[in-house]
Amino acid sequence: MFDTRPNCEAEVVLVGRSNVGKSTLMRELTGHSFDTGKKPGVTRSPNHYDWSAEDFVLTDLPGFGFMSGVEGDRQEDIKTGIVHYLEDNAEKILVAILVVDGKSVIDIIDRHSDGEEIPYDVEMFHFLRELDIPTVVAVNKMDKVDDRDERLNELCDRLGILPPWKQWQETIAPITAKRGQLSALNEAVRTHLHDQQRDDLFKFF
């Protein structure tokens, strides 16, 4: 399921829970439609979109975490597949975009913070950083958020980085994918691409 990766040296990956808008974001970035749906877990295997001339692939990994109607074992298999994919390709991944739902992310993190388990979003953020993959948190659906700065500051706090969020603009990017409002994300991704001397990929962001 996870061995469909085109043979490209450079990659940007989208990771995140089910139903946070990864496939919509993928469509906005590529201009190419992928399966999206209201039902969580529509994307069960990676969607790759590659530009062979640039030796570059953009990958939308399956959603992780709870999915209604999907058995627990299957959910664990998907999560394990994502972890292995990221570990196996860490050297080639220039940037990881961790997509979260700006409206619900704080509640979800707090609901799963009981000391016993680390919430998936927080765990994934730290896991990507442990792999030395530059990570941008794309905080999606910001058109539905009223207290924007407060919400983004709270997210920094939950992720273990010091608010205010505005000092982390290469890490925290408020977006509304459905409306094509991606400028904060594009800027953040470009910062990381530039650091890795891949300004030639700016045209995709």
CA distances from 202 to 109, 126, 188, 199 (A): 32, 26, 11, 5
The number of folded domains in the chain is: 1
Task: Determine the average pLDDT of the residues in 167-184.
Answer: 96
Considering the domain boundaries, does residue 73 fall inside one? Answer: yes
Considering the domain boundaries, does residue 5 fall inside one? Answer: no
Task: Determine the average pLDDT of the residues in 85-93.
Answer: 96
Task: Determine the average pLDDT of the residues in 68-83.
Answer: 76
Whether 41 has a pLDDT exceeding 50, the answer reads: no
Question: What are the residues whose beta carbons fall under 8 Å from the beta carbon of 169, sequence distance 6 or more?
Answer: 184, 187, 188
Contact 195, 134 (CB under 8 A): yes
Task: Determine the average pLDDT of the residues in 153-170.
Answer: 96
Considering the domain boundaries, does residue 1 fall inside one? Answer: no
| Cα–Cα distance, 29 to 12 (Å, whole number) | 11
The domain containing residue 161 runs over which residues?
A: 10-197
Considering the domain boundaries, does residue 134 fall inside one? Answer: yes
Whether 38 has a pLDDT exceeding 50, the answer reads: no
**Percent of the chain at pLDDT above 70?**
89
Considering the domain boundaries, does residue 168 fall inside one? Answer: yes
- Report the phi/psi class of residue 11: left, alpha or beta, with left for phi > 0 and alpha for psi in -120 to 50: beta
Whether 66 has a pLDDT exceeding 70, the answer reads: no
Burial (Cβ within 10 Å: 0-12, 13-18, ≥19) of residue 109: buried
Tokens read off for 18: 């089910």
Considering the domain boundaries, does residue 48 fall inside one? Answer: yes
| Cα–Cα distance, 74 to 44 (Å, whole number) | 10
CATH number assigned to the domain comprising residue 115: 3.40.50.300
Considering the domain boundaries, does residue 101 fall inside one? Answer: yes
Q: What is the pLDDT of residues 116-147, one digit of tens each?
A: 677 889 999 999 999 999 999 999 999 999 99
**Percent of the chain at pLDDT above 90?**
67
Sign of CA dihedral 76, 77, 78, 83: positive
Task: Determine the average pLDDT of the residues in 27-53.
Answer: 71
- DSSP string of 36-80? --SSTT---S-EEEEEGGGTEEEEEPPPBS--TTS-HHHHHHHHH
Task: Determine the average pLDDT of the residues in 50-68.
Answer: 83
pLDDT of the residue at 24: 92
Whether 19 has a pLDDT exceeding 90, the answer reads: no
Beta bridge partners of 95: 12
Beta bridge partners of 56: 10, 51
